[in-house]
Each structure stands twice: as structure tokens, then as C-alpha cells.
């Protein structure tokens, strides 16, 4: 069910919503469209580690959009490995959920444009809101009450698999230090240098059509999130997938044009804070890197488990939905 990877991201989204910014005159600031996020810097104090260990580090302690994207690779690996235990267990109970989502598919749809927008990726893909696999395929509306009860019971049982102890132990080990980092990020998002860019940002997105009264909160994450929430509402009014994709491309262009100045200041200050933070906790961070690499290896080696319960009517998986089969 990818519950733990979601938990890894949960602590990074404390109160955020979405993303964008411009000159106070209200005319788009063209330089913002070509802003590149700061390059990932490997913290020397942490020491050398595997690529998975570095991904684990940035799953908890990102300072830029590029680093958040690296952390998403770690969450994607864990999510796909969890599903490789979940899906066969559900199939043995008569629920075929379809193909297990790949780690890359899960990572691609893992983003946070309100706190860690990856402007370089958005510029390359022209996609603001990447679509990913559904967390777990849904039952069809025609499913009976007994089938729904059986499905939910099996889902709970199959989710509580052999990976949970290792996942929970690792998350517990890293969460305390991660919460400390989150508090530092929150202070930066509300700092005077960042606040100084917010007026231009709001003018920019208002110039593109967003009503001012939709803004809520005071931090950069609040402002960016307010814009993204409004964009979600606009895209929900489209009738077809092609219309939604076209709307998303349009708002991606707006986002790039408006958010550059805000993101630039955020990443500069967050990278400086990260450098100091890493130097202050070298041993703990090294344990997280090493533990993250071991965690992926451990879960990948787990055998499929689970005993089937009372089998409901046979089902087969399709995209986003389970279809009952006679």
C-alpha cells in the first residue's frame, strides 16, 4: 500500500499546499522561466555512501527540488517493494490488482511543488502535476457489501506484511532528526528574504487569472500551495484527458515564469542551512544512509507471505479499478 513511503514524505509536507511569482508591476518576469535549481551537493561530513543511501538521505533532508527528486527515488523503491508483497497476497485471496507499479513510476509521480519544486524537471517535461499509478486499485461501484468487506479485510491483512517491522524501525530512527530539519525549513520559508519575494509572486499569478482572495497563510509554502490548489480546481473543470494535459502545460509555463525568484532564494538559504546541519550531525546522517541501503536490500529479499482467507468472487486488475469477473 506504500504506506511507509508516504510516511517518509509526510514530515516534509507540514502545512504546505502548492507553487509560483513575478515583478511588482504585474508583468511576468522572464528570467524566472530559466532558473535552474541548485545542484545536489554531496555532504562531505556525511562520508561516502551508496546511491541508495544518498537517496535515503534526501528522502528526509532535502533542500532543493533536485534533492527531493532523489529522495523520491528511495520512496519509489520502497513503495514498489511493498507492493510486490501486497499484490501477490491479495491475489491469493482472489483479488488480482494487476501489475505492480514500478519504482520509477512511483518516483516520477512523487513531487512537492509547494516546498521543493524541481524547476529544471518542469522546464524539461512541461508537466506541473505528473500523474502516477493509483495507490491501490479501487473496487467497482457494483461490488457487493460482502465483497467490499472481504477486500478491506484482506487489504489490512496483506498490508501488515513482513516489511513493516524494518520499515517502522528505520522511520523511527530517522524521524527525530528529520523533524528538526523540517522546523529549520519552516523558519526559512517565513524568513524576511523569502517574504520579500512574495509580493512579486502574488502579482504574477494574479496577472494570469488567480483571484487574490485564494491566497492563505504567510509562508512561501502557503503561497505556492494556494496557487497550486487553485490550479487543481481549474484543471478539474476540464472534460477530457487531453484538455487536462493542455491545462497542466499552460500552468507549468506560468509556474516557471512566476516562481523562479522565490525558488532561487529558498534554495540558496536552504542549501546553506543544510550544509551547517549536515556538519552538525555526521554520525546520525551516516547511519541513515547506511540503514536506508540495508532497508532496500532487506525488503527485496523477503519472500512472499500471507495465507488466503475466504475467497470472494474472482477479480482481475485494470488501471485504477478492480473489475469483477464471473
Report how far residue 215's alpha carbon sits from residue 205's, in angstroms, rounded to the nearest whole number.
Answer: 10
* Per-residue pLDDT tens over the stretch 145-190: 999 999 999 999 999 989 999 999 999 999 999 999 999 999 999 9
Q: How many CB atoms lie within 10 A of CB 159?
A: 18
Alpha carbon 133 to chain centroid, angstroms:
13
Q: 136 pLDDT band (50/70/90 cuts)?
A: confident
258 within 8 A of 32, measured Cβ to Cβ: yes
**Which range has the worst mean pLDDT, 10-19, 130-139, 203-212?**
10-19
% of residues, the chain, pLDDT over 90: 69
- Work out the pLDDT band at 310, boundaries 50, 70, 90: very low
pLDDT of residue 264: 97
- pLDDT of the residue at 305: 59
Q: What average pLDDT does the segment 59-64 reach? A: 98
Q: pLDDT of 274-286, one tens digit each?
A: 999 999 999 999 9
pLDDT attached to residue 137? 77
Residues 63 and 274 sit within 8 Å (Cβ to Cβ)? yes
Gap between the Cα atoms of 155 and 182, Å rounded: 32
Three-state secondary structure call for residue 95: strand
Q: What is the spatial distance between Cα 19 and Cα 64, in angstroms, rounded to a whole number?
A: 14
Task: Look at the alpha carbons of 202, 205, 206, 210 in this order and tell me if their dihedral is positive or negative.
Answer: negative
* Highest mean predicted confidence (pLDDT) among 147-151, 270-274, 308-312: 270-274
- pLDDT number for residue 105: 93
Can you tell me the distance from the alpha carbon of 133 to that of 101, in angstroms, rounded to the nearest whole number?
7
- Bridge partners of 316, per DSSP, are 323
User: Kind of pairing, strands 321-324 and 315-318?
Assistant: antiparallel
pTM: 0.80
How many angstroms separate the CA atoms of 171 and 177, rounded? 11
Tens-place pLDDT, residues 184-241: 999 999 999 999 999 999 999 999 999 999 999 899 999 999 999 999 999 999 999 9
Mean pLDDT of the chain: 82
Q: Quick one: residue 47, left, alpha or beta (phi over 0 = left, psi -120 to 50 = alpha)?
A: left
Question: What is the pLDDT, as a whole number, of residue 29?
Answer: 31
Q: What is the pLDDT of residue 50?
A: 80
246's grid cell: 493542455
- 19-38 per-position pLDDT tens digit: 332 222 232 233 332 223 33
What are the φ/ψ torsions at residue 290 (nearest 5 degrees)?
-65, -40
Phi-psi region at 169: left, alpha or beta (left = phi > 0; alpha = psi -120 to 50) = alpha
Distance between CA atoms of residues 115 and 214, nearest Å: 18
Report the percent of the chain where pLDDT is more than 70: 78
Amino acid at each position: 500500500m506504500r504506506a511507509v513511503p508516504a510516511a517518509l514524505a509526510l514530515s516534509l509536507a507540514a502545512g504546505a499546499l502548492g507553487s509560483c511569482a513575478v515583478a511588482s508591476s504585474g508583468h511576468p518576469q522572464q528570467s524566472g522561466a530559466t532558473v535552474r535549481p541548485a545542484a545536489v551537493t554531496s555532504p562531505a561530513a556525511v562520508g561516502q555512501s551508496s546511491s541508495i543511501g544518498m537517496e535515503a538521505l534526501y528522502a528526509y533532508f532535502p533542500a532543493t527540488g533536485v534533492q527531493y527528486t532523489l529522495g523520491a527515488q528511495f520512496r519509489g523503491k520502497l513503495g514498489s517493494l511493498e507492493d510486490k508483497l501486497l499484490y501477490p497476497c491479495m491475489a491469493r485471496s482472489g483479488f488480482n490488482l494487476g501489475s505492480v507499479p514500478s519504482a520509477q513510476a512511483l518516483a516520477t509521480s512523487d513531487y512537492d511543488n509547494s516546498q521543493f519544486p524541481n524547476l529544471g524537471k518542469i522546464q524539461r517535461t512541461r508537466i506541473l502535476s505528473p500523474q502516477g499509478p493509483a495507490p491501490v486499485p479501487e473496487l467497482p461501484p457494483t461490488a457487493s457489501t460482502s465483497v467490499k468487506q472481504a477486500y478491506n479485510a484482506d487489504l489490512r491483512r496483506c498490508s501488515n506484511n513482513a516489511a513493516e517491522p524494518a520499515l517502522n524501525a528505520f522511520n523511527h530512527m530517522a524521524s527525530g532528526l528529520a523533524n528538526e530539519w523540517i522546523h529549520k525549513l519552516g523558519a526559512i520559508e517565513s524568513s524576511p528574504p523569502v517574504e520579500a519575494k512574495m509580493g512579486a509572486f502574488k502579482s504574477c499569478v494574479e496577472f494570469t487569472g488567480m483571484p487574490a482572495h485564494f491566497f492563505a497563510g504567510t509562508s512561501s509554502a502557503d503561497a505556492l500551495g494556494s496557487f497550486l490548489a487553485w490550479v487543481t480546481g481549474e484543471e478539474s473543470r476540464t472534460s477530457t484527458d487531453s484538455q487536462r494535459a493542455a491545462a497542466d502545460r499552460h500552468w507549468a509555463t506560468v509556474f516557471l515564469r512566476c516562481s523562479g525568484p522565490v525558488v532561487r532564494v529558498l534554495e540558496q538559504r536552504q542549501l546553506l542551512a543544510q550544509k551547517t546541519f549536515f556538519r552538525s550531525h555526521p554520525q546520525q546522517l551516516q547511519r541513515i544512509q547506511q540503514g536506508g541501503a540495508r532497508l532496500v536490500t532487506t525488503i527485496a529479499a523477503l519472500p512472499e507471505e500471507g495465507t488466503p482467507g475466504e475467497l470472494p468472487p474472482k477479480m482481475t486488475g485494470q488501471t485504477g479499478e478492480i473489475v469483477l469477473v464471473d
